[in-house]
Amino acid sequence: MKIMEDIYLVGGGEYGLSPPGDWCNVYLLNCGEGLVLIDSGTGIGVEDIIRNIKKEGFDPLNIKYIFLTHSHFDHIGGAHKIQELTGCKVAIHENGAKSLGTLDDATLVKYSPLKITAPKVDLKLKGGEKISIGRYVIEVIYTPGHTADSICLYIHRHKNKVLFTGDTVFSRGRIGWFNTPGSDLLAYKRSLEYLLKIKPEAILPGHGPFILSRGHEHVKLLYSKLNVPWKHIITVMD
């Protein structure tokens, strides 16, 4: 499903693009000289993801990278199989690479519908990298909070600031869970403060609806929710 020029949604059970249990949004970025995937789903929708890429007129063998926004099983579960099928490289924050090395508790694999095989990590990110692929420069922003390895990916599309946020920012300022291993409320707030300075226009999250304009207002709303007293946070989760 085409979202905007060069950006497609190719996986996600919430949109019927892959099975219902594959609830992570999987995005495809056409860089002209190669393709990039953002996240890979739980693993149960790999065949659908590959088929959807072909339906959009692209060859999956042209996938150069999968960027994993964090190491939770619902984002990394399909990466090994896609890497095996296409020969692409896998990039994740260095903290996530450690978690993938052992599939530790931070990956939440105990909740996975499948037995997960970790992909080979080719690129361990720190945050701050600017990676040129074809006509795009992808900037990696380290945004701990939801997890200790969360990243956002930032690109300029003409004059539009596009941010792939994983589970850091959702529409309507919904709060990504931060009661799992590696989560940190104070770090989450600092990450959002940085994103507010960027003022993204389009936000493409790991779950639920994407936002095509005024994305920074959703970041601002989330930030305001995280600054209410802890005992009241449960009332603003949605």
Q: What value does the mean pLDDT take over residues 16-45?
A: 97
User: What confidence category does residue 65 fall into, taking pLDDT thresholds of 50, 70 and 90?
Assistant: very high
Range of the domain at 61: 2-236
Strands (E), the chain: 2-4, 7-11, 26-30, 35-38, 63-67, 89-93, 123-125, 130-133, 136-142, 151-157, 160-166, 202-205
User: What confidence category does residue 119 fall into, taking pLDDT thresholds of 50, 70 and 90?
Assistant: very high
Number of domains in the chain: 1
Structure-token pair, residue 85 = 């099928």
Beta bridge partners of 153: 140, 164
Reported as a single tens digit per residue, the pLDDT across 68-103 is 999 999 999 999 999 999 999 999 999 999 999 999
CATH assignment of the domain containing 119: 3.60.15.10
Reported as a single tens digit per residue, the pLDDT across 128-172 is 999 999 999 999 999 999 999 999 999 987 778 999 999 999 999
DSSP for 14-76?
Answer: GGTSS-TT--S-EEEEE-SSSEEEE---SSTTHHHHHHHHHHTT--GGGEEEEE-SS--HHHH
